[in-house]
C-alpha cells in the first residue's frame, strides 16, 4: 500500500508531537509519514496514487507530469449540509451555519475516527498559508490518510520542514484531522480507487482552532488549508485580531501610464474569480496580473492601509468552461504538473471538458464510461477541477509572494444575477459597501452538493465559509472600516451575469470585464465620471470604455439601468434576510436599508 518509508521528524515542538501522537492513537494507521515538502515526495505521492488505481498518468507528450483522478460519484463537491461550526455557544455559529456542541461533535467523530486509518498511512502535513515568515501568514498541521489530499496540499500550500522550522516551539497552529473513513483489514487488503464514506462531517472548532473532517476526499472537504482553515477558522481569528479573511481573488491592474491598483473581488463559488484573476484586458495598453484566485487575507499596514496576501500557492479551479477563449492564462498554466479531477479522458491520453474546445470523439467520461458527443450527459463533472501551481501562471504578478502583501485599492462584490443588479455600481461609502456585500445574492452552482440555479443570499460570498455568526461578521466589516477610515478600499458591486428575457447573457464577460475594471481603476484615481442613483454610483454617459466592443443594441442601457421596481420588490426579502440575524444585525445595515428604501421612493 505504502511505498514511502517514514522520514525523520523535524520538530521537537511538544504541541505538534502530542497532536500527532493523539491522532495516531485514535486513527490507528499502519504507519506514519511526516511530509517534508520535497519535489521527490510529491512524485512519490503521484506514483502511489497511480499504483493504487486512484489516478492515471496523462500522455506525457500532451500533459507532462500530470495525472487524472476520478472520484466516487458520491464525493464530488463540498457538502454544506454536513459542514458544522462547533463553537461552545450555538449563538456564535449563527443562523447560517450548522451547529453542534464541541464535546458532542468530538464524541461522534471520535467513534468514527477510532481505527479509521487501519491498514493505511497517516501523513503528517505541516503547511503554511501565506509566505513563510509573513506577518499575515498562518500555520497548520494536518494529518490525513489521503495521498490525493497531500499531493493537492503540496500544490496549494507551502508544505514541509521549512514550515516546522518557522513554527519553532509555538503553539499557534491550526490542528487538522482528516480521514476518508475507509479502513482496510490489512495493508494488502483490496482497496477501491476512491475510498470515502457515505457518512461525512466537515467540522470546525473555532475556539480551539481545530478542524475534524471525515468521509470525503474531495476539494474543500479534504484540502483543509483551503476553506476550512483559510476561511472558516481564519475568519474567527481575523475577527479576534482585527483583520480580514475573505473569499476573494487578488488582481494587479496597470494602466497605460504604468500606475498600479490592486483589486480584491468576492464572488461565490464558480462565479468567476479564477477567470477575473487571470483576464487579458481587451483595452489597449492595460495590463492585468494575478496574485490569487480564491482567498485573500488582509491586515492593516503601518500606513493604515489594508495589505493583502494570497495564502495559497496554487489554483483549485473549475475546469468546465475554461478555454483559450475564456481564460487563456489558465490554459497556459495547465500545460504540465497538474492534478485533474473528474474531467474526461480523450483517446490520446489528454483531458477534455465541456467548453474547452470542439468535443473529442470518442472519450471516457469522468465516471470511466465511454462517451460520445451528443450523448446527452456531460463528459466532465460540472465541478471537475484542476490543481495547478500558481507559479506556472504566465501572468502571476512578481509581488505575489511578497510577505508584506499588496495594498488593496478596491473591493468588488458580485454574483450570478439574471436581473435587477446592474453591470457595475460604486458604493457610496464603506458602510454602504458593507450593506451591498451583506445582501449579495447568487444562483447556486455545482461547487456545492445540492440544487443548482436557486437564488440564495450569499453575503460577501462567505455564506458557506464564515466561521461565526454572520451578524457579528457584518459588524466586523463595519468596525474594520471605521478603523481604516478614508484609507479603506472603495467598494463596487458587479454583475457579469445579467440576462435578456430570452435567457441570453447581456454582457460578453470574461476579457471584456476589463472595461469595468478600467472604470473602477479610474474611479479610484478620481478621474472617471459617475452619476448618483438610488442604488449607488453608476458610470456616467461615456465613462465606460466601449471602444471596439461588439454588443447588442440596447444591451448596454439594460445593463446599466437602475431597475427601481426590481429593487423595490427585493426590499421585503432583504428585510427577511436581515431578520434572520436578530439582535446581532448591526443597526448601521438597517439604516442603510431604510435609506435605500427612501432613495427608491
Ligand atoms: P471557485 O473556485 O468555486 O471559488 O469558483 P470561481 O469563482 O473561481 O469561478 P470561475 O472563475 O472558475 O468560473 C466559474 C464559471 O463561471 C466558469 O464556467 C466560467 O466559464 C464562468 N464565468 C467566469 N467569468 C464569467 C463571465 O464574465 N461571464 C460569464 N457568462 N461566465 C463567466
Ligand atoms: C469553492 O467551492 O469555492 C472552491 C472549491 O473554491 S473548494 O475547494 O471545493 O471549496
Ligand atoms: Mn472558492
Task: State mean pLDDT over 501-528.
Answer: 96
- What is the Cα–Cα distance from 123 to 153, expressed in whole angstroms? 11
Q: How far away, in angstroms, is 79 Cα from ligand 1 center?
A: 20
- Whole-angstrom Cα distance, residue 593 to residue 535? 11
Instruction: Tally Cβ neighbours within 10 Å of residue 244.
Output: 24
**Domain map of the chain by residue range?**
14-52+78-242, 314-392, 409-600
**What stretch of H or E contains 291?**
strand 287-292
The residue whose CA is least distant from atom 8 of ligand 2 is 220
Beta strand pairing call for 174-179 and 138-144: parallel
Ligand 2 atom nearest the C-alpha of 219 is: 9
Mean predicted confidence (pLDDT) in 28-57: 97
Average pLDDT over residues 230-241: 98
Given a cut of 50, whether residue 1 has pLDDT beyond it is no
**Angle at which helices 102-113 and 14-27 pack, to 10 degrees?**
60
Ligand 2 neighbourhood includes 229 CB (under 6 angstroms) = no
Helices 470-484 and 234-241, packing angle to 10 deg: 40
**101: nearest Cα among 172, 214, 199, 206:** 206
> Does ligand 2 lie within 6 Å of residue 316's CB atom?
yes
Copy the grid coordinates of residue 88: 461552545
Mean pLDDT, residues 269-279: 97
Task: Report whether residue 227 contacts ligand 2, using a CB cutoff of 6 Å.
Answer: yes
| pTM confidence score | 0.97
Place of cell 452538493: 449
Taking residues 561-570, report their average pLDDT: 95
- Per DSSP, the residues of 517-538 read HHHHHHHHHT-S-EEEETTEEE
DSSP codes, 196-224? --SS-EEEEEGGGTEEEEES--SHHHH-T
Contacts of 103 (CB under 8 A, 6+ apart): none
Q: Percentage of the chain with pLDDT > 90? A: 95
Residue 160: what pLDDT?
95
pLDDT band, residue 451 (cuts 50/70/90)? confident
Closest to 228 in 3D by CA, of 413, 34, 97: 97
The kind and range of the H/E element at 486 are none
Angstrom distance (rounded) from CA 293 to CA 314? 9
CATH topology of domain 314-392: Phosphoenolpyruvate Carboxykinase; domain 2 (2.170.8)
Report which protein residue has its CA nearest ligand 2's atom 3: 269
Q: Binning pLDDT at 50, 70 and 90, where does residue 6 land?
A: low
| CATH assignment, 409-600 | 3.90.228.20
Give the pLDDT mean for 466-494.
Answer: 98
Distance CA 246, CA 519 (A): 24
Common-topology check for domains 14-52+78-242 and 314-392: no
| Residue that has been written with the C-alpha cell 483531458 in this structure | 351
Which residues are part of the catalytic machinery? 271
CB atoms within 10 A of CB 528: 20
Segment 131-158 mean pLDDT: 97
d(CA 166, ligand 1 centre) in Å: 36
Q: Whose grid coordinates read 462547533?
A: 86
Percent of the chain clearing pLDDT 70 (strictly above):
99
30 class by beta-carbon count within 10 Å (0-12 exposed, 13-18 middle, 19+ buried): middle
DSSP one-letter code for 4: P
Q: CB–CB of 51/148 below 8 Å?
A: no
| Spatial distance between the Cα atoms of 352 and 343, rounded to a whole number of angstroms | 6
Residue 389 · residue 155 · CB < 8 Å:
yes
CA distance 249 to 104: 36
Residue range 420-444, pLDDT digits in tens = 999 999 999 999 999 999 999 999 9
pLDDT, position 2: 47
pLDDT band at 4 (very low <50, low <70, confident <90, very high): low
The closest-lying atom of ligand 2 relative to the alpha carbon of residue 221 is 9
Rounded to 5°, the CA angle 502-505-510 comes to 170
Q: How confident is the model over 27-45, as a mean pLDDT?
A: 97
Count Cβ atoms within 10 A of the Cβ of residue 272 and give its class: 0-12 exposed, 13-18 middle, 19 or more buried: buried
State the average pLDDT over residues 244-248: 98
Cα 25 to its chain centre, rounded Å, is 33
Q: Is the pLDDT of residue 278 over 60?
A: yes
Q: Is the CB of residue 219 below 6 angstroms from any atom belonging to ligand 2?
A: yes
Q: What is the CATH number of domain 14-52+78-242?
A: 3.40.449.10
C-beta of 425 in contact with ligand 1 (< 6 A): no
For ligand 1, is residue 270 a contact (CB within 6 Å)? yes
How many A from CA of 412 to the centre of ligand 3? 15
Q: How far is the CA of 304 from the centre of ligand 1 (A)?
A: 33
pLDDT value at 231 more than 60: yes
Most ligand 1 atoms within 8 A of CB, residue of 78, 264, 269, 321 to mutate: 321
- Indicate the Cα dihedral angle 542, 548, 550, 551, nearest 10°: -10
Q: What is the pLDDT of residue 5?
A: 58
The pLDDT value recorded for residue 290 is 98
Please tell me the distance between residue 270's alpha carbon and the centre of ligand 3 in angstroms.
7
What is the mean pLDDT of the segment spanning 574-589?
A: 98
Q: What is the mean pLDDT of the chain?
A: 96
Q: What's the whole-number mean pLDDT along residues 384-396? A: 98
- Give the mean pLDDT of 94-113: 98
For residue 362, is pLDDT > 90?
Answer: no
Q: In the structure grid, which three cell numbers stand for residue 243, read together? A: 483583520
Atom 4 of ligand 2, residue of closest alpha carbon: 269
Amino acid at each position: 500500500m505504502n511505498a514511502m518509508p517514514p522520514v525523520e521528524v523535524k520538530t521537537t515542538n511538544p504541541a505538534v508531537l502530542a497532536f500527532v501522537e493523539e491522532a495516531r492513537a485514535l486513527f490507528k494507521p499502519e504507519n506514519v509519514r511526516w511530509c517534508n515538502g520535497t519535489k521527490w515526495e510529491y512524485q512519490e505521492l503521484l506514483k502511489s496514487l497511480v499504483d493504487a488505481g486512484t489516478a492515471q498518468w496523462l500522455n506525457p507528450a500532451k500533459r507532462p507530469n500530470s495525472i487524472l483522478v476520478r472520484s466516487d460519484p458520491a464525493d464530488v463537491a463540498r457538502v454544506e449540509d454536513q459542514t458544522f461550526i462547533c463553537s461552545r455557544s450555538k449563538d456564535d455559529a449563527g443562523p447560517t451555519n450548522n451547529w453542534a456542541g464541541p464535546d458532542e461533535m468530538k464524541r461522534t467523530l471520535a467513534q468514527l475516527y477510532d481505527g479509521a486509518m487501519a491498514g493505511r498511512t497517516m501523513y503528517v502535513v505541516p503547511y503554511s498559508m501565506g509566505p513563510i515568515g509573513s506577518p499575515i501568514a498562518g500555520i497548520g498541521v494536518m494529518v490525513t490518510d489521503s495521498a490525493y489530499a497531500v499531493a493537492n496540499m503540496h500544490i496549494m500550500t507551502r508544505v514541509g520542514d521549512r514550515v516546522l522550522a518557522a513554527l519553532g516551539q509555538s503553539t499557534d497552529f491550526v490542528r487538522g484531522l482528516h480521514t476518508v473513513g475507509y479502513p482496510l483489514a490489512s495493508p494488502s487488503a483490496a482497496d477501491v480507487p476512491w475510498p470515502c464514506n457515505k457518512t461525512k462531517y466537515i467540522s470546525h472548532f473555532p475556539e480551539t482552532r481545530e478542524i475534524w473532517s471525515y468521509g470525503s476526499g474531495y476539494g474543500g472537504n479534504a484540502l483543509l488549508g483551503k476553506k476550512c482553515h483559510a476561511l472558516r477558522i481564519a475568519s474567527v481569528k481575523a475577527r479576534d485580531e482585527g483583520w480580514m479573511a475573505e473569499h476573494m481573488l487578488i488582481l494587479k491592474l496597470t494602466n497605460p501610464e504604468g500606475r498600479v491598483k490592486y483589486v480584491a473581488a468576492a464572488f461565490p463559488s464558480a462565479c468567476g474569480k479564477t477567470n477575473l484573476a487571470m483576464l487579458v484586458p481587451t483595452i489597449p495598453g492595460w495590463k492585468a496580473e494575478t496574485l490569487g484566485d480564491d482567498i485573500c487575507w488582509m491586515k492593516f499596514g503601518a500606513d493604515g492601509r489594508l495589505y493583502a496576501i494570497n495564502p495559497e500557492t496554487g489554483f483549485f479551479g473549475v475546469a468546465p468552461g475554461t478555454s483559450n477563449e475564456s481564460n487563456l492564462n489558465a490554459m497556459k498554466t495547465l500545460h504540465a504538473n497538474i492534478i485533474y479531477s473528474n474531467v474526461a479522458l480523450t483517446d490520446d491520453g489528454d483531458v477534455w471538458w465541456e467548453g474547452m474546445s470542439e468535443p473529442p470523439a470518442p472519450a471516457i467520461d469522468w465516471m470511466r464510461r465511454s462517451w460520445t458527443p451528443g450523448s446527452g450527459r456531460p463528459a466532465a463533472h460540472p465541478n471537475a477541477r484542476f490543481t495547478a501551481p500558481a507559479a506556472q501562471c504566465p501572468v502571476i504578478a512578481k509581488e505575489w509572494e511578497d510577505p508584506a502583501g499588496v495594498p488593496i485599492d478596491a473591493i468588488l462584490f458580485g454574483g450570478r444575477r439574471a436581473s435587477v443588479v446592474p453591470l457595475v455600481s460604486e458604493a457610496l461609502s464603506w458602510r454602504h459597501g458593507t450593506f451591498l456585500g451583506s445582501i449579495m445574492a447568487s444562483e447556486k452552482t455545482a461547487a456545492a452538493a445540492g440544487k443548482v440555479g436557486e437564488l440564495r443570499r450569499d453575503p460577501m460570498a462567505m455564506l458557506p465559509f464564515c466561521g461565526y455568526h454572520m451578524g457579528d461578521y457584518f459588524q466586523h466589516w463595519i468596525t474594520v472600516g471605521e478603523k481604516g477610515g478614508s484609507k479603506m478600499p472603495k467598494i463596487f458591486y458587479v454583475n457579469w451575469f445579467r440576462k435578456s428575457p430570452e435567457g441570453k447573457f447581456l454582457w460578453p464577460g470574461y476579457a471584456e470585464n476589463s472595461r469595468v475594471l478600467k472604470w473602477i481603476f479610474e474611479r479610484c484615481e478620481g478621474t472617471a465620471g459617475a452619476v448618483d442613483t438610488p442604488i449607488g454610483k453608476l458610470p456616467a454617459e461615456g465613462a465606460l470604455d466601449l471602444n471596439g466592443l461588439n454588443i447588442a443594441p440596447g444591451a448596454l442601457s439594460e445593463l446599466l439601468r437602475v431597475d427601481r421596481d426590481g429593487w423595490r420588490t427585493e426590499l421585503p426579502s432583504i428585510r427577511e434576510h436581515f431578520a434572520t440575524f436578530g439582535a446581532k444585525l448591526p443597526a448601521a445595515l438597517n439604516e442603510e436599508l431604510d435609506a435605500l428604501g427612501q432613495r427608491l421612493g
